[in-house]
Structure 1
Amino acid sequence: MPMSLPRHVLLCCALLLAGCASTARPAPTLYEELGGQAGLEALVETLLSHVADDPRINQMFARVNIVMLNQHLNEKLCQVSDGPCDYQGKAMGPAHAHLPIGQGEFNALVEDLMWAMDQQKIPRTTQNRLIKRLAPMQGEIVNQ
């Protein structure tokens, strides 16, 4: 014959289970999936090193203040990925208006970014989430 538990024991168990459910950790942000600030800094460093070796676009970066570019890229990626940063640079249109950027150059930079994310062992799903958030900027950057 099965033994029944007193009501107060059942109520206590139900409250404990409800408490466990409410303390579940929320899903990580894209920023966290990218490795936080350290992950973004490594990604940007890898990206900029690769861009410097990419003959399709490296000439566009020849006169750029690389320290400032590094800072702005870190801020932008941090902001776009829901990190705790505020982007302090120019809007994308004005920042790129003086450069003849066509679809080919834009695609080359995206390819370089994907290569850098692969080098940093960022999972493809996380890469896709970041690219999806960056994609709307294409219209502001491509001007040829």
Structure 2
Amino acid sequence: MSRFTKLAGIGLGLLLASSLAVAQTPYTDDQVYQGLGGKEGIKKIVDTFIPLLLADPRIKDSFTDFDMEQLNVRLQEQFCEFAGGPCKYTGKYRDKTMDGVGTERDMATVHQDLKVTNAMFNALTEDLQIAMERNNVPNSVANKLIAKLAPMQRAIVTK
């Protein structure tokens, strides 16, 4: 392998690593947030997204014990914050099986027992893209939100 090829490979690796680090932080401006339609637009997207999840045979069983109203709120917070909006995502979730327990779990812990595969993660992403499309979100804006959420795949996919 030539020295140039090695250097190019190292450079590409550093570029990918830096882009992943940037992708895990919310946008610093509200351009994507505005492109999603602000809080009301995000609410419409999530209100479209959740029925798609529950109807999708590839993943609907994963949501059996989830409090879907709470999931709706958390997704709105998450999309809003990562899009550069004024919201703060709490990063915590309580499901119905936790009633009376009082414990909150982070993203990795919430998903650890769900045995989420890459195929399931991709199905959810497809459903989100459909929800944004149905709410007339421009592809460029939708792709920017997906790019910010994609690094969560490492915490969510457990199988």
Q: TM-score range by the shorter chain?
A: 0.7 to 0.9
| 2:152 aligned residue | 137
Which of the residues 33, 51, 54 maps onto 1:52? Answer: 54
State the TM-score, normalized to the length of structure 1.
0.78
User: What amino acid is aligned across from residue 51 of structure 1 in structure 2?
Assistant: L
Q: Work out which of the residue numbers 77, 97, 101 in structure 1 matches 2:112.
A: 97
Give the distance between the partners of 1:65 and 1:121, measured in 2 at CA.
27
State the distance in 1 between where 2:65 and 2:39 align. Answer: 27
Give the SS at the match of 2:34: helix
Secondary structure of the residue that 2:61 maps to in structure 1? helix
Q: Percent of pairs identical after alignment? A: 39
The 5 A counterparts of 1:2-81 are: 29-81=31-83
Does the 8 Å contact 2:30/2:83 carry over to 1? no
Say which of 111, 125, 129 aligns to 1:114: 129
- Offset, 1:115: 0.7
Question: Which residue identity is paired with 1:29?
Answer: Q
Structure 2, unaligned runs of 5 or more: 1-28, 93-105
Change (3 A) 1:59 1:131: same
Runs of 4+ in 1 over 3 A off after TM superposition: none
Superposition RMSD on alpha carbons, in Å? 1.2
User: Once structures 1 and 2 are overlaid, which stretch shifts more, 36-45 or 86-95?
Assistant: 86-95
Asked if structure 1 preserves the Cα contact closer than 8 Å seen for 2:49 and 2:131, the reply is yes
Q: Distance in 2 between matches of 1:136 and 1:116?
A: 20
Deviation at 1:46, TM superposition (A): 0.3
**In 1, Cα distance between the equivalents of 2:64 and 2:126?**
19
Q: Distance in 2 between matches of 1:48 and 1:57?
A: 11
Question: Which of 141, 152, 155 is 1:126 aligned to?
Answer: 141
Conserved? CA contact 2:53–2:60, under 8 Å: yes
Q: Deviations over 1:28-59 (max 9, x none)?
A: 52111100000000000100011111111001
Matched positions, count:
118
